[in-house]
Amino acid sequence: MAIDGKGEVIKVNQKYISDLLSGKNFQDENFPVASFIIKKKIKQTIRLFYSFARMADDIADNSKISSKNKLDILNFFDDSIKNGRSSDISILNSLINQSKEKKFSKKYSRNLLTAFKLDATKKRYKNWGELENYCKYSANPVGRFFIDLTYSEKNKELKNKYEIFSSSDNLCTALQIINHLQDCQEDYTKLNRVYLPISYFKKYAIKVNILKKKKSSEKFDELKKDIVSNVEKLLENLKENLKKIEVWGLRKETLIILNIAKRLCFLLKSNDPLEKKIKLSRIDLIFCFIKGIIID
């Protein structure tokens, strides 16, 4: 149950949730959500997990409902997953059924909800540590879920677990912060949310309302390059540990995503995210796939 702005009880059901969704899907992302090199069964499971994350993210980002309503809905999702309680929300039911077979699914989906609950209430991040902690819940569980799922389907033991998970976490955190830079203007103007750490704005003596501008200032450009530099540090030396992934499709998919992250960093350094949305071209994507599959 949730309470609307008039104090009336709202039943959290399929119709109510559907009306709050953005309509975005995995094809709208800047990175592949289980591409053609991933086996069909694993791809279907990954995309279900993504659909759940997309649904919860849309709730947290919806400007038509209050923070309290958002938390009520997200807590409803969390309680349902925790207790294995079904509803008439199809994606949630499918995820709950999935978690009966894949026990790790419950942990990772609830981790994601921790981040979306933050999104429902938190508008600013003080420093890099706060942002990384957010990414620990908003991004890193996706990579770990993909790895655990693939090894589970292959009935293989995950060797070098620490190195693989650590590198996956860094890659997922990097992708999340890249996304924050890409969407910094939209996040601020539509949601009054600023993921870029406030300590960076203070460092360069600029105010967050620079994000309303149609073009970056010289100081914001320096701030942006500073953040990209830190992201690039997260991506350093990941390849060798990611190459320890024994499943060919997962290893190649991960290396493709690493290439995408590096290319986006390059584009962000040389382009203005306030002037235009920084995205990969089709040629960029093809190159990242070829490099990940054939060269790396």
**Domain limits, the chain:** 14-121, 123-296
Q: What is the pLDDT of residues 180-232, one digit of tens each?
A: 999 999 999 999 999 999 999 999 999 999 999 999 999 999 999 999 999 99
Residue ranges of the alpha helices (H) in the chain? 14-18, 40-61, 67-83, 90-101, 104-121, 128-138, 140-153, 161-182, 184-191, 198-203, 218-235, 239-242, 248-270, 282-290
The amino acid at 284: D
Amino acid 6: pLDDT? 45
Amino acid 205: pLDDT? 97
- pLDDT at residue 174 above 90? yes
- CATH code, residues 123-296: 1.10.600.10
Q: What is the pLDDT of residues 88-104, one digit of tens each?
A: 899 999 999 988 888 99
Global model pTM greater than 0.95: no
Q: Which of 11-25, 44-58, 126-140, 157-171 has the lowest mean pLDDT?
A: 11-25
Mean pLDDT (whole number) for 123-131:
98
- How far apart (Å, rounded) are the C-alpha atoms in residues 256 and 287? 9
Mean pLDDT (whole number) for 43-47:
86
Amino acid 77: pLDDT? 94
